[in-house]
Amino acid sequence: MEKIRKRLEMSAWPGKTVIGLTGNIATGKSVVRKMLEHLGAYGIDADALSHRAIAVGAPGYQKVLDTFGKWVLSPDGQIDRSKLAKIVFSDPTALKQLEDIIHPLVRQAEDLLIRRTNKSVVVVEAIKLIESGFDRLCDQLWVTYAPEDVQLRRLMTKRGLNRDAALQRILAQPPQEEKIKRANVVIRNDRSFEDTWQQVLSAWKALFPEKEVEGEKDVRAGMSVERAKPSQAKEISELMRIVSKGQKALSPEQVMEAFGEKAYLLLRRDGLAEGMLGWSVENLVARVDDFYLSDQIPVEEAVTLLIHEVENASKELQCEAALLFLTDPWAAFREIWQKLGYRETTVQNIGVRAWQEAALESNQAGGVLWLKRLREDLVLKPV
Give dist(CA 337, CA 216) in Å, integer: 24
What CATH number does the domain containing 164 carry?
3.40.50.300
**Confidence grade of residue 365 (pLDDT, cut at 50, 70, 90):** low
Are 165 and 239 part of one and the same domain?
no
- Higher-confidence position of 9 and 101: 101
Q: What is the tally of structural domains in the chain?
A: 2
172 is a domain residue = yes
Burial class (CB in 10 A: 0-12, 13-18, 19+), 369: buried
Give dist(CA 124, CA 113) in Å, integer: 10
Spatial CB neighbours of 7, under 8 Å, sequence gap ≥ 6 = 139
Q: With a cut of 90, say whether residue 6 has pLDDT above it.
A: no
Render pLDDT for 13-31 as a digit per residue (tens, 0 to 9). Answer: 999 999 999 999 999 999 9
CB atoms within 10 A of CB 142: 26
Are 171 and 220 part of one and the same domain?
no
- Higher-confidence position of 90 and 16: 16
3-state class of 182 per DSSP? coil
| pLDDT score recorded for residue 219 | 52
Which of 207, 232, 262 is where one domain is finished? 207
| pLDDT score recorded for residue 105 | 94
Are 136 and 229 part of one and the same domain?
no
- Single-letter amino acid code for the residue at 203: A
Strands 121-125 and 42-45 come out as parallel
Residues 79-95, mean pLDDT to the nearest whole number? 90
380 is a domain residue = no
**Confidence grade of residue 361 (pLDDT, cut at 50, 70, 90):** confident
Percent with pLDDT over 90 in the chain: 73
When the pLDDT of each residue in the chain is averaged and rounded to a whole number, the result is 90
Render pLDDT for 255-305 as a digit per residue (tens, 0 to 9). Answer: 999 999 999 999 999 889 999 999 999 889 999 999 999 998 999 999 999
Are 200 and 258 part of one and the same domain?
no
Q: With a cut of 70, say whether residue 47 has pLDDT above it.
A: yes
Are 201 and 220 part of one and the same domain?
no
Give dist(CA 38, CA 43) in Å, integer: 10
Biggest CA-to-CA distance, the chain: 63
Are 254 and 359 part of one and the same domain?
yes
Residues 108-125, mean pLDDT to the nearest whole number? 96
Q: With a cut of 90, say whether residue 307 has pLDDT above it.
A: yes
In terms of Cα–Cα distance, which of 118, 159, 116, 137 is closest to 126?
137
Are 24 and 69 part of one and the same domain?
yes
Give the structural domain span for 177.
2-207
| pLDDT score recorded for residue 210 | 80
CB of 271 closer than 8 Å to CB of 304: no
Q: Is the peptide bond before 382 cis (omega within 30 degrees of 0)?
A: no
Which of 174, 207, 240 is where one domain is finished? 207
Strand order in the sheet with 321-326: 216-220, 223-227, 263-269, 272-282, 285-293, 321-326, 368-373, 343-345
| pLDDT score recorded for residue 319 | 95
Q: With a cut of 50, say whether residue 9 has pLDDT above it.
A: no
Are 180 and 240 part of one and the same domain?
no
- Higher-confidence position of 242 and 221: 242
CB of 13 closer than 8 Å to CB of 112: no
Which of 207, 228, 251 is where one domain is finished? 207
What CATH number does the domain containing 348 carry?
3.40.630.30
Task: Give the global pTM.
Answer: 0.84
Are 12 and 160 part of one and the same domain?
yes
Burial class (CB in 10 A: 0-12, 13-18, 19+), 129: buried
**Confidence grade of residue 86 (pLDDT, cut at 50, 70, 90):** confident
Residues 106-124, mean pLDDT to the nearest whole number? 95
